[in-house]
Amino acid sequence: MPPDPVGRLSGRRPVLIVLHQERSSAGRVGQMLLEKGFPLDIRRPALGDRLPETLDNHSGVVVFGGPMSANDPEHFVKHEIDWISVPLKENRPYLGICLGAQMLVRHLGGRVQAHAKELVEIGWYPIEPTQHGRLLMKWPKMVYHFHREGFDLPHGATLLATSDTYPNQAIRYGEKAFGVQFHAELTRAMMQRWVVHGASRFTMPNAQKGRDHLEGRMMFDAPLKAWLSDFLDLVFKDEVLQHRTEKWEPVFG
């Protein structure tokens, strides 16, 4: 996908967007990053796209979700999990969403597995920020989920938000790596597609019916959207500050 003119005018390096299906979209994350002046470099490793050996030419990376598991044996899954060493070693912004968060956890040595009672989170469910999370920002009370596996809190990671069914909802590792179990990136059109194509999962234990997904959006989506914008500012704040310094720092002598 060619960079947006907004990104070119800003002079910022693109954000690497990692998607896992041919028709997957970066959704509101992509829209908001473009609005904030970041071009997008979209790649789909599952379809053969290569991931860069360094993020020197990128402002960071967002790894999205998908129907596969971080435990799957496919080569691209294992390669993505190993590749996470690049942003971590280079101390560059990393945001993992659902599968992307689970891949981060696997890379850090944690487990990804189903609930002991096979409960899923498919629909709108409450989360509660931890003390660490509250110190960072304001969190929404309800978020949208579409997963049947959760993850451990890896050694060295900080828990930012929790819930009853899957206690690890948002984590931070180091200064610049984040993972969230829920989905704030869905546009209305994306949610409608998920409800149609994922209807077979609504009979799973603890899953909500399709109508509850769309009705919940009317009640809970506005705070979730506002949170996402603030959260992206948090993840990529150093890239914005660095760009401003490089662009505006006066030269003396």
pLDDT in tens, 73-113: 999 999 999 999 999 999 999 999 999 999 999 999 999 99
CA distance 240 to 101: 23
- Evaluated on CA atoms 9, 10, 13, 17, the torsion sign reads negative
Query: Who has greater pLDDT, 200 or 9?
Result: 200
Of 85, 111, 84, 60, nearest in space to 231 by CA? 60
Enclosing H/E stretch for 177? strand 177-180
Beta-carbon count within 10 A of 220 CB: 18
Cα–Cα–Cα angle for 21, 26, 31, rounded to 5 degrees:
160
Side chain identity, residue 35 = E
pLDDT in tens, 56-66: 999 999 999 99
Q: Residue 10: what pLDDT?
A: 60
pLDDT over 80 at 228, yes or no? yes
pLDDT in tens, 144-199: 999 999 999 999 999 999 999 999 999 999 999 999 999 999 999 999 999 999 99
Predicted TM-score (pTM) of the model is 0.91
What are the structural domains of the chain? 15-243 (3.40.50.880)
